Amino acid sequence: MTHAEVADGLCVAHGEPAQVLSTFNSSEVKAMIAHAHDLSKQGLYVVGGLSYEAAPVFDSALPVRASNHFPLLEFHAFEPKQVSVLRQSQLQRLPIESKFMPWLDQQTGQHYQETYQQVQQAIEAGEFYQINLTTRLKAANPRLDAWALFQHLYASQPAPQSLFLRGSVFNAISLSPELFFRWDGNELQTAPMKGTRRPVAGSVDVLSDSEKDRAENVMIVDLLRNDMAKVCQAKSVQVRSLFDVMHLPTVDQMTSSISGRTLPGIALADLFAALFPCGSVTGAPKSQAMLRIAQWEQAPRKFYCGALGVLSPGGQVQFNVPIRTVIEQADELEYGVGSGITWYSTVNDEKKEWWQKTAFLREATCDFKVLETLRLEHGQWLHLDDHLKRMDRSARQFSYLFDEQDVRLHLSTVANKNPNGTFRARCLLDACGELQVELHEMKLDESPVLLRLADSAMRGKPEFVLHKTTYRPEYESFQRQANGAFDVLLFNAQGLLLETCRCNVVLKIDGEWLTPQICERASTYLLPGVLRARLLRENTIRQTTLNVQDLQRAEEVWLINSLRGWVPVAKVVDAHDMVLFSAN
C-alpha cells in the first residue's frame, strides 16, 4: 500500500500485511470498522476503505446498485517497521511503448442525453436540487503491475489524497485530490470539493469567479455541515474557508473546509453513519439523489465515490473521496468520472467537465482523437458534409463532444486563409470537442501503384476500425510491412479482403466494380470511407464478400479515398514478392 502523507513522497508499506479485514457481507461492516480502528490504536498502520455500495449499512434510506463481485469493506494492517518513505524523485514512469488500449465510456451518448433530460425534469419537480451523475470508463488490462501504473499516474498528477492498495480481488489506484474527513478523536475536518475547470493561462480566477461552481459548492458545504452536526458538539461546526482553488496539472478544483469537535464517545463507525457517502458525490438531498443514482447509473461504483484512507498508529484517521480512481479487477481497468448537475447546468458543459477530469489519465496512458482527413482545393473542402457526418458518428461512438457549427466555422476560417493550392488536412477532434487542423501541401500523382499483401490477418478492435482515430497501432504495424509499396492490403482471419492502411479497395471482376463489405458475421470490419459511401449510393460499386484469391481473377484493382480519388494499382504482391495481381 501507499499513501501520500509526506511532503516529498509517499509512505509505502512493504511485504504481507499482518492482518486483512475484508467482507462482502453488510452485517460485518460496522464490526470490521471498529476492529480496524482498534488495530491502529494498537500501533499498526491500517489501509483500506469502504465501497460506495456500503451506504445502506448505515442508513437503509440510502439505496445503491448491488455489487456481488466487489467487497463492501477491505482493510490491510501493517507493522510500523514495514513502512518507509518513497521520495517523489524515486517514482518510476512507464516507458511510452507500454501505453495501452484507450479508455472507452461504457455509457452511450444517447443514454447520457436521455438521463440528463430525466435529471432536469426531476430537478424541476423538486426531487433534489443537485445530483452527482457518473459513468465508467474501461480499458483492457495492460498486464502491467498495478503498483508501477500507480507510480506513473501519481508522477503525472501528485494529488494530495492519493492511495494505492493491492487488495484481495482488486487493485485500487486512487489519485484523489479530495479529503473526505480527518479525525484525531476530537477534531473532525472535512473538505468537500465541488467545481471543476480546465486551467486558463494568465487567469487564475476563472473557477473562483464562477457563479455556478460557487453555488454548487455552497450546496454541498451546507449538506456536509448538517451531516457533521449529527456527531459534533453544538455550535462547534464551522466553515473555515470557502471557495479555495486547488491547482492540479490538468484541472482546477474548488474546495471548502469545515471543522467541528466530535461528541464524547463517538466511534469511527458513527462518523461513517453520519457522513457516508460524502455529499459531494451524491447530491442533495442525499437520499433522493442516491435513489435516482441507483436507477440511472448502469454499474455499481465500488470504491469510486466510497472512502479510502489510512488509520495511523494511535488512532488518527484520514480518508479521501475516491475520485480520479482506477480499479483493476480481472482483465480490465475501470475509472469512474462524473459531475454535479444543477438546474443551471448544461449537457455539453457537464460532459466537457467529465472529459477534463480524465485528461491526466488519458494523457498518461493512452489519449486518442477522432480523425478526418480532408482535401482542401483552392479554398474549397471536398465532400465536407460527408466527412462531418462521419466525424459526428465517431464522436457519438466514443461519447466525445461534437459541435458541427463550431467545426464548420473553424474549417471555414482555415479555407479562407488558404485560397490557393491543394492541401491534405488532418482534422483532429478531442474528447472535449476542440478541433485542431494540420495542413500539408499535397502533390497529386496519378501513376499506378504497387500494393503489398499483409503477412498476417488484421485483428483490430472493431470500434477502432469502423471509426477513424489517431489510435492506429495495427495499421501502423502493417504499414511498416510496405517495403517500398504504396500501401498494404489487409485481410481477416478467414482470408477475406478488408482495405488497405489508408484506402478502401475496389476490384473489377467480370465487368463489375466490387468492394469488400462490412459484415459483423463475417468479421469483415473496415473504415466506411467517404468516397466509398458516395460510390455505393450512386450504384457505381457494389459491396460483397471478397477473398485473397479473388485478386487473381480481378481485371483491375483500384484504391479509393476522398483525398486522392481513384488510385490505379499496377501490381499486388505478397510478403515474398509473389505476384497476386498485375494490370494488363
**Grid coordinates of 84:** 518507509
Whether 80 and 111 have beta carbons less than 8 Å apart is answered as no
Count CB atoms within 10 A of the CB of residue 513. 16
Q: Which residues of 266-301 are buried (b: 16+ CB within 10 A; e: fewer)?
A: bebbbbbbbbbbbbbbbbbbbbbbbbbbbebbebbb
AA letter at 399: S
AA letter at 445: D
Please state the three-class secondary structure of 40-54 as a single string: HHCCCEEEEEECHHH
Whether 120 and 84 have beta carbons less than 8 Å apart is answered as no
> What is the distance between the alpha carbons of residues 169 and 182, in angstroms, rounded to a whole number?
27
> What is the distance between the alpha carbons of residues 578 and 582, in angstroms, rounded to a whole number?
11
DSSP string, 139-207: EE--S--HHHHHHHHHHH---TT-EEEE-SS-EEEE----EEEEESSSEEEE--EEEEE--BTTBTTTT
**Grid coordinates of 320:** 479521501
> Residue 93 has what DSSP assignment?
P
> What is the distance between the alpha carbons of residues 224 and 229, in angstroms, rounded to a whole number?
8
Comparing CA positions, the residue from 99, 96, 101, 98 lying closest to residue 463 is: 101
Selected catalytic residue, list 30, 74, 194, 302: 194
> What is the distance between the alpha carbons of residues 359 and 365, in angstroms, rounded to a whole number?
10
Active site residue 353: no
> What is the distance between the alpha carbons of residues 218 and 243, in angstroms, rounded to a whole number?
9
Whether 134 and 305 have beta carbons less than 8 Å apart is answered as yes
Distance of CA 95 to the CA centre of its chain: 20
Active site residue 404: no
What is each CA distance from 395 to 16, 212, 434, 468, 527, in whole angstroms? Answer: 46, 27, 12, 10, 15
**Grid coordinates of 128:** 433534489
DSSP string, 443-467: ----S-EEEEE-SS-----GGGTSS
| Nearby residues of 291 by Cβ (< 8 Å), 6 or more positions away | 63
Report CA torsion sign: 126, 129, 132, 133.
positive
Comparing CA positions, the residue from 530, 514, 493, 269 lying closest to residue 392 is: 530
Selected catalytic residue, list 178, 328, 334, 499: 178
**Residues forming the active site:** 178, 194
